[in-house]
C-alpha cells in the first residue's frame, strides 16, 4: 500500500511540473452581442483559476499567459455564459446571446401572438399558477388585484356570485362597462346587470383549464376588436396538448367556509324596552323577561363545504395533440340553502394534416345549478329591505322563535298575537326555491392553411350557446295562516342565447436583411347574436304539493315572451414593423357595421397607432451592466362600445301591457301602443385613448418595473333627454354624454432570493380619476336614486345627500321641512334660507377608490412552498343602507346594537335618534363610511413528496382564504355593490351576501 501511494505521489508531482512548464500565450479578441456591437464589461476568466480580465468599451480584451489547452469562460449579466477551449488560437472572438427569457417569451394578442419585446401596447399577462392560487369559481376572481389598471369588485360573495370588472375606469352610463372576453377565439360579452343576486356568466368556465390570461388595456392593443374593445379585452387561453409522453393529472381540494363577520343587534331585553318606548304602551309587560333571545344570524349562517375535482389528460404526437379535462366544482353557501355546482368538460384537439394544412377545435360543455338566496336589495324601503334573508335575520324580533314544535317554520304572523306579521321569518325565506340551471356550449373550429412562405390563412368558426332555466316558488307554508288563501307564487323562465362568429384571418410575416421584420394581418369577421325568452308566472296556489311545476293551478297567471337578433360585420387590418429588435411600430384599423345603430350611423371606423423603443439596445447603454431591459412605449387610438345599445333601440317601438288594456263589449282586451321614439342618428359610444409606458428590467431582470400613464375620453355616451309632452313621449335616448378617465399604473416584480431559498415578490398599484364631462346640453346633473347623482365635473356615481349635524337638543328650533322632532336627526341648512329642502343636499362622497393595489409573495425551499396574496383599495366611500334601515327606531323590527344608546331626555347624544313610531331618517352623510380595506386573500403552504415510483409528482397543500381584513367599515364586508355591475349606482351596501373565510386541503398528482 505504501509503495502504491509513493508511485501515485510521484506521478502527480511529475504532472504538476509538466503543467507548470507547459507553454503559455497571450489571447485577445472582441466580444459582441447578437447585433454585432461590442459588449463592454464582459468577464473573461481562465476556467479553474482566478486569472482573468474584462472587455473595454468596444468589447475588446487581451489576456496574457494563457496556458495551452486552457478554457476561457465568458460571462456578463444579461447574457448566456460560454466556455470556449483556446486550443492553439491567439485570437478568439466571441458572440454572446442574451439570457433574457422575455426576448423569446410569446404572449397572446388580438388575432395572433407576439414576442414580449415586440409589444407596443399596454398588455398584462397572468399564468395559471397565479390564477389558481386560491379556489375560485370564475376567472375574474383569479385576476383580482393582480393586474394594474383593473378594478374587480365581488358584488356578491354568494356561490357563483357576480363581479364587476373595470379596466381603466367606467366608460359608459347606460351601456356596459365590462370588458370583452375572448376564450380560445370565442368572444363572450358581459352585459349590464344591476342585480347583485344574478350569477356571473363566467362561472360556467372552469378556471382550472386556463393556461394564461392576457389583459389588453390601451387603444393600440384593443383597437383590433373595434366596436367591442372600448372597455378593454381579456384574452383567455386554455391548456393544449403537446407532442411527447402523455400526462395524466388529478387536482382536488376540499374545505370548509364560515362567515367572516356578523353584526351586533339588540338582544331581547333591549328590543322589548325599545318597543315599549316607541309605542308608549306595555307591548312587553316585563321587558326584563321578554321570552326567548333568538340569534337569527346564527340560524341562517352555517359552516359550508367547498370542493373541486379536476382530471386532465394531455399528450399527442408530432401530428396530433390532445388535451382533455373533466371538472366538478361544488360550493355550498354560508347562508342556508344556497349552493353552486358546476360540471364541465373541455376538449382541445390540434391535428396537422400535411405540411400546408392544420385543423383543430376547442370545445367546452358546462352545466351549472345555482340555488340562490335573495340578499342584496335595491330599495330603501324598510319592509322591502327586511324581506331579504339577511335583512330579515337582522330585523327579526329576538323574542320570537323560528319553528313550531313539529319542526315546521312558524310565521311571525302566527306568533305574539300577530303583532309582527309584517316581518318575515328568515328561516322561512330560506325555503323559497330560487334556482338557475345553465347549460353552456362554447366551440371553436379552425383550419390553418400555409399558402406560401410566410403567408397563412385561418378560417375560424365559433359558437356560443346557452340555455338558462329559472325556477322560483315561494311556498304558502311560510306565510301567516290568515294570509295563506292568497299565498303561493311561482315562476318559470327559459332563456336561450346563441352567437355565431366567423373569422377569416390572413397573415403575412417576413424579415429581410436580418434587421427588418414585417407582419400584416387582415381579418373579416361576421357575428350574429340571437336571443329569446319565455316566462310564465302565477300566484295564489291551492297548496305547495306541485311547487312551480303546475302553474296552471294558480288563480292569477301571466305569460310573456320575447326575441331579439343583431349582427356585427367587421373589416380590420394591422401592420407590425420592427427594426433590429430595437424600434417597433404597429398600425391598426377596424371598420365595424352594427345592425342596432341608426340608419345614418351603422358603421364606425376605429384606428390606432403605437410605437416602442428598446433603449437597452442603444450603444450608449452597453456599459450599464446593471440594466437588463429598458423600453419606452406610446400609443393613441379609438375603440367603440357596441354593448351600449340593445337591438332595435334606434327604431320606433311598440309594445303591449301596462296601460294599453281596454274593455270592448265588456271583454278585457290588451292593445299595442308606441313605446319608443325612433332616432336614426343613434351611433357608437367612442373612446379615444393615449398611453405612455415604460418597461424596466434591472440586475439581470431580477427586478422588473412596468409603468403606464393614460388619458381616455369616451364621447357620444347614450343618455336621455326630456321631450315636451306634445311629442307624446317623455324622453329620447341619444348620444349626449362624455366621460374622462385618467390614471397611472405601476407593476413591480422581483426575484429577491435565487439560491436554495427562492423568494419572488410582486406588487401593483393603480390610480384612476374619473370625471363626467357632459350629460346633455340641457342638464348639469341627474339624480339616479335618493342618494346618488350624475353631476358634470364630478366622478361617476358620487353621493349627494344632506349633511348630518347631530340630533335636535332641548331648546333648539326645529327647521321647517326637516320632518324631525326633539332628539331627532338634524341636517345642515346649507343655503341659509331657514328651511330644509333638496337645495340643501350636496356632494358628500365618492365610491371610486383613490388607489387600487395588490401584492404577493412566493417562497420555496427544497420541497416546501409558501405563498400569500393581499388586495386592497383606499379612498372610496360606501353608502351603508343597512344602517339607514336598522338604525331607525320606528317600531316593528329589531335594530343594530348601537340604537341602545339612542337619544332620550336623560341621554341627549348626537348620534342615534330618538324613537318615533313610523318615522323615517333623512338621507344624509351619516350613513357614508370609509370603504378602504386591505385583505389577505390567501395563505398557502405546500409540500412536494419525494419521488414515488409510477408518479411524476405529488403535492399536498393547505390553504386559507380571506383569513383577515383590515378595514373600518361597519357592515358585513367592504367589497360590495347591491346594484351589480351598474355604472352609476356603485358602492352601495344594502345587505349583500357576505364574504366567507375558508380552510382548504388539496392534492395534486401527475402520472
> Taking the mean position of all CA atoms in its chain, how far away is CA 271?
41
Determine the pLDDT at residue 601: 83
Determine the pLDDT at residue 196: 62
Helix, strand, or coil here: 141? Answer: helix
Instruction: Express as a percent the part of the chain with pLDDT over 90.
Output: 62
Q: What integer is the mean pLDDT of 662-686?
A: 79
Q: How far does the chain reach from its first CA to its final CA, in angstroms?
A: 52
d(CA 69, CA 17): 16
Average pLDDT, the chain: 89
d(CA 764, CA 27): 49
User: Which grid coordinates belong to 934?
Assistant: 386591505
- Residue 3 scores a pLDDT above 70: no
Determine the pLDDT at residue 192: 66
| Cβ 32 vs Cβ 38: under 8 Å | yes
Instruction: Express as a percent the part of the chain with pLDDT over 70.
Output: 95
Highest mean pLDDT among 392-406, 655-669, 678-692, 722-736: 392-406
Give percent helix, percent strand, percent coil of the chain, each to the nearest 5.
Answer: 15, 50, 35
Determine the pLDDT at residue 1: 41
Q: Could you tell me which residue, 943 or 24, shows the higher pLDDT?
A: 943
Strands 703-722 and 685-698: antiparallel
Q: What integer is the mean pLDDT of 749-764?
A: 92
Q: What integer is the mean pLDDT of 192-221?
A: 81
Determine the pLDDT at residue 383: 81
Q: What integer is the mean pLDDT of 634-645?
A: 85
d(CA 868, CA 890): 46
DSSP 8-state symbol, 102: H
CA angle 460, 465, 470 (to 5 degrees): 165
Determine the pLDDT at residue 103: 56
| Residue 210, C-beta contacts closer than 8 angstroms, at least 6 positions apart | 128, 131, 139, 142, 236, 237, 238, 239
d(CA 424, CA 478): 9
DSSP 8-state symbol, 839: G
The CB-side HSE value for 621 (13 A sphere, CA atoms) comes to: 14
Per-residue model confidence as pLDDT tens digits over 7-60:
334 433 434 443 344 578 899 999 987 667 778 778 888 887 778 888 887 789
Q: Could you tell me which residue, 59 or 995, shows the higher pLDDT?
A: 995
Strands 71-75 and 106-109: unpaired
Determine the pLDDT at residue 2: 46
Q: Could you tell me which residue, 19 or 720, shows the higher pLDDT?
A: 720
Determine the pLDDT at residue 189: 82
Q: In 3D, which of 607, 593, 597, 197 has the Cα closest to residue 434?
A: 197
Q: What integer is the mean pLDDT of 742-750?
A: 96
Query: Across 875-995, where does the E strand assignment appear?
Result: 877-880, 928-930, 933-944, 953-967, 988-989
d(CA 509, CA 316): 28
Q: Could you tell me which residue, 163 or 825, shows the higher pLDDT?
A: 825
Q: What integer is the mean pLDDT of 104-117?
A: 83
Per-residue model confidence as pLDDT tens digits over 112-166:
888 888 999 999 988 887 777 666 777 888 888 889 989 988 888 888 887 889 9
Q: What integer is the mean pLDDT of 974-988?
A: 89
H/E stretch holding 882:
helix 881-886
Instruction: For residue 284, name the pLDDT band (cuts at 50, 70, 90).
Output: very high
d(CA 265, CA 398): 9
Determine the pLDDT at residue 61: 92
Determine the pLDDT at residue 11: 34
Write down the CATH number for the domain with range 24-95. Answer: 2.60.40.1120
d(CA 713, CA 169): 11
Q: In 3D, which of 772, 778, 773 has the Cα closest to residue 734?
A: 778
Question: Which phi and psi angles does 166 have, rounded to 5°?
Answer: -125, 120
Sequential DSSP letters for 343-384: EEEEEEEEEEEETTEEEEEEEEEEEEEEE----------HHH
User: Which grid coordinates belong to 648?
Assistant: 332595435
Instruction: For residue 980, name the pLDDT band (cuts at 50, 70, 90).
Output: confident
- Residue 745 scores a pLDDT above 80: yes
d(CA 153, CA 145): 10
User: Residue ranges per domain, the chain?
Assistant: 24-95
Q: In 3D, which of 81, 34, 41 has the Cα closest to residue 61?
A: 41
Question: Which phi and psi angles does 346 have, rounded to 5°?
Answer: -130, 135
Amino acid at each position: 500500500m505504501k509503495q502504491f501511494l509513493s508511485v501515485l505521489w510521484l506521478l502527480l508531482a511529475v504532472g504538476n511540473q509538466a503543467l507548470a512548464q507547459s507553454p503559455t500565450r497571450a489571447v485577445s479578441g472582441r466580444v459582441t452581442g447578437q447585433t454585432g456591437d461590442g459588449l463592454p464589461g464582459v468577464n473573461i476568466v481562465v476556467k479553474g483559476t482566478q486569472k482573468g480580465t474584462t472587455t473595454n468599451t468596444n468589447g475588446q480584451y487581451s489576456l496574457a499567459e494563457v496556458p495551452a489547452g486552457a478554457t476561457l469562460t465568458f460571462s456578463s449579466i444579461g447574457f448566456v455564459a460560454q466556455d470556449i477551449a483556446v486550443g492553439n488560437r491567439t485570437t478568439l472572438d466571441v458572440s454572446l446571446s442574451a439570457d433574457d427569457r422575455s426576448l423569446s417569451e410569446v404572449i397572446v394578442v388580438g388575432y395572433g401572438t407576439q414576442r414580449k419585446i415586440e409589444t407596443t401596447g399596454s398588455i398584462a399577462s397572468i399564468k395559471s399558477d397565479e390564477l389558481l392560487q386560491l379556489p375560485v369559481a370564475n376567472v375574474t376572481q383569479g385576476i383580482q388585484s393582480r393586474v394594474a389598471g383593473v378594478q374587480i369588485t365581488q358584488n356578491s360573495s354568494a356561490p357563483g356570485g357576480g363581479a364587476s370588472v373595470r379596466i381603466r375606469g367606467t366608460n359608459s352610463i347606460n351601456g356596459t362597462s365590462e370588458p370583452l372576453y375572448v376564450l380560445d377565439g370565442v368572444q363572450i360579452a358581459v352585459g349590464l346587470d344591476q342585480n347583485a343576486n344574478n350569477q356571473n356568466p363566467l362561472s360556467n368556465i372552469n378556471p382550472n383549464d386556463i393556461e394564461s390570461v392576457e389583459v389588453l388595456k390601451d387603444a393600440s392593443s384593443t383597437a383590433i376588436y373595434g366596436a367591442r374593445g372600448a372597455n378593454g379585452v381579456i384574452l383567455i387561453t386554455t391548456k393544449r396538448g403537446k407532442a411527447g409522453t402523455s400526462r395524466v393529472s388529478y387536482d382536488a381540494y376540499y374545505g370548509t367556509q364560515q362567515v367572516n363577520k356578523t353584526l351586533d343587534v339588540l338582544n331581547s331585553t333591549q328590543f322589548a324596552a325599545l318597543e315599549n318606548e316607541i309605542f308608549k304602551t306595555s307591548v312587553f309587560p316585563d321587558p326584563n323577561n321578554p321570552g326567548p333571545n333568538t340569534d337569527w344570524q346564527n340560524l341562517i349562517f352555517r359552516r359550508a363545504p367547498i370542493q373541486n375535482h379536476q382530471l386532465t389528460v394531455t399528450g399527442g404526437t408530432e401530428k396530433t395533440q390532445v388535451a382533455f379535462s373533466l371538472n366538478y366544482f361544488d360550493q355550498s353557501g354560508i347562508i342556508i340553502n344556497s349552493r353552486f355546482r358546476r360540471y364541465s368538460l373541455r376538449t382541445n384537439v390540434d391535428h396537422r394534416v400535411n405540411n400546408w394544412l392544420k385543423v383543430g377545435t376547442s370545445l367546452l360543455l358546462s352545466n351549472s345549478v345555482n340555488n340562490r338566496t335573495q340578499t342584496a336589495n335595491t330599495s330603501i324601503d324598510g319592509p322591502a329591505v327586511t324581506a331579504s334573508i339577511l335583512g330579515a335575520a337582522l330585523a327579526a324580533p329576538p323574542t320570537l322563535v323560528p319553528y313550531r314544535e313539529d319542526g315546521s317554520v312558524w310565521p311571525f304572523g302566527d306568533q305574539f298575537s300577530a303583532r309582527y306579521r309584517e316581518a318575515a321569518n328568515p328561516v322561512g325565506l330560506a325555503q323559497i326555491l330560487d334556482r338557475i340551471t345553465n347549460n353552456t356550449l362554447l366551440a371553436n373550429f379552425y383550419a390553418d392553411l400555409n399558402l406560401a412562405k410566410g403567408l397563412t390563412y385561418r378560417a375560424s368558426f365559433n359558437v356560443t350557446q346557452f340555455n338558462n332555466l329559472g325556477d322560483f316558488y315561494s311556498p304558502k307554508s311560510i306565510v301567516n295562516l290568515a294570509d295563506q288563501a292568497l299565498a303561493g307564487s311561482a315562476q318559470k323562465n327559459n332563456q336561450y342565447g346563441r352567437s355565431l362568429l366567423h373569422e377569416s384571418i390572413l397573415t403575412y410575416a417576413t424579415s429581410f436583411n436580418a434587421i427588418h421584420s414585417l407582419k400584416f394581418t387582415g381579418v373579416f369577421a361576421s357575428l350574429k347574436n340571437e336571443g329569446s325568452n319565455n316566462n310564465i308566472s302565477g300566484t295564489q296556489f291551492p297548496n305547495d304539493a306541485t311547487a312551480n311545476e303546475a302553474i296552471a293551478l294558480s288563480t292569477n297567471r301571466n305569460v310573456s315572451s320575447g326575441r331579439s337578433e343583431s349582427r356585427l360585420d367587421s373589416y380590420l387590418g394591422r401592420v407590425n414593423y420592427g427594426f433590429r429588435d430595437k424600434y417597433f411600430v404597429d398600425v391598426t384599423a377596424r371598420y365595424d357595421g352594427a345592425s342596432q345603430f341608426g340608419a345614418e350611423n351603422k358603421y364606425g371606423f376605429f384606428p390606432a397607432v403605437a410605437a416602442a423603443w428598446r433603449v437597452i439596445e442603444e450603444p450608449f447603454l452597453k456599459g450599464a451592466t446593471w440594466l437588463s431591459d429598458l423600453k419606452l412605449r406610446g400609443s393613441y387610438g379609438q375603440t367603440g362600445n357596441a354593448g351600449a345599445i340593445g337591438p332595435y333601440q334606434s327604431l320606433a317601438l311598440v309594445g303591449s301591457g301596462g296601460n294599453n288594456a281596454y274593455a270592448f263589449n265588456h271583454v278585457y282586451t290588451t292593445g299595442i301602443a308606441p313605446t319608443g321614439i325612433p332616432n336614426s342618428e343613434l351611433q357608437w359610444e367612442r373612446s379615444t385613448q393615449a398611453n405612455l409606458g415604460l418597461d424596466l428590467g434591472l440586475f439581470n431582470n431580477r427586478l422588473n418595473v412596468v409603468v403606464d400613464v393614460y388619458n381616455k375620453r369616451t364621447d357620444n355616451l347614450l343618455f336621455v333627454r326630456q321631450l315636451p309632452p306634445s311629442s307624446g313621449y317623455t324622453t329620447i335616448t341619444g348620444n349626449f354624454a362624455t366621460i374622462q378617465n385618467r390614471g397611472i399604473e405601476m407593476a413591480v416584480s422581483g426575484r429577491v432570493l435565487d439560491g436554495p431559498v427562492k423568494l419572488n415578490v410582486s406588487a401593483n398599484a393603480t390610480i384612476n380619476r374619473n370625471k363626467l364631462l357632459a350629460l346633455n346640453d340641457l342638464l348639469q346633473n341627474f339624480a339616479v336614486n335618493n342618494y346618488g347623482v350624475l353631476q358634470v365635473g364630478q366622478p361617476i356615481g358620487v353621493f349627494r345627500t344632506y349633511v348630518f349635524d347631530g340630533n335636535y337638543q332641548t331648546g333648539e328650533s326645529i327647521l321647517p321641512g326637516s320632518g324631525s322632532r326633539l332628539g331627532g336627526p338634524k341636517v345642515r341648512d346649507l343655503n341659509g334660507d331657514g328651511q330644509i329642502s333638496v337645495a340643501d343636499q350636496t356632494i358628500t362622497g365618492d365610491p371610486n377608490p383613490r388607489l387600487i393595489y395588490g401584492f404577493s409573495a412566493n417562497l420555496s425551499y427544497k420541497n416546501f412552498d409558501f405563498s400569500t396574496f393581499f388586495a386592497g383599495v383606499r379612498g372610496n366611500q360606501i353608502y351603508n343602507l343597512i344602517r339607514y334601515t336598522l338604525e331607525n327606531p320606528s317600531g316593528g323590527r329589531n335594530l343594530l346594537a348601537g340604537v341602545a344608546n339612542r337619544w332620550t331626555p336623560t341621554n341627549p347624544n348626537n348620534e342615534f335618534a330618538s324613537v318615533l313610531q313610523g318615522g323615517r331618517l333623512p338621507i344624509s352623510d351619516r350613513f357614508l363610511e370609509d370603504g378602504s380595506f386591505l385583505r389577505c386573500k390567501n395563505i398557502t403552504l405546500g409540500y412536494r413528496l419525494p419521488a414515488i415510483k409510477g408518479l411524476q409528482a405529488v403535492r399536498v397543500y393547505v390553504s386559507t382564504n380571506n383569513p383577515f381584513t383590515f378595514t373600518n367599515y361597519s357592515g358585513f364586508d367592504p367589497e360590495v355593490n347591491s346594484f351589480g355591475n351598474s355604472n352609476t349606482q356603485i358602492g352601495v351596501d344594502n345587505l349583500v351576501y357576505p364574504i366567507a373565510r375558508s380552510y382548504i386541503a388539496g392534492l395534486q398528482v401527475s402520472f
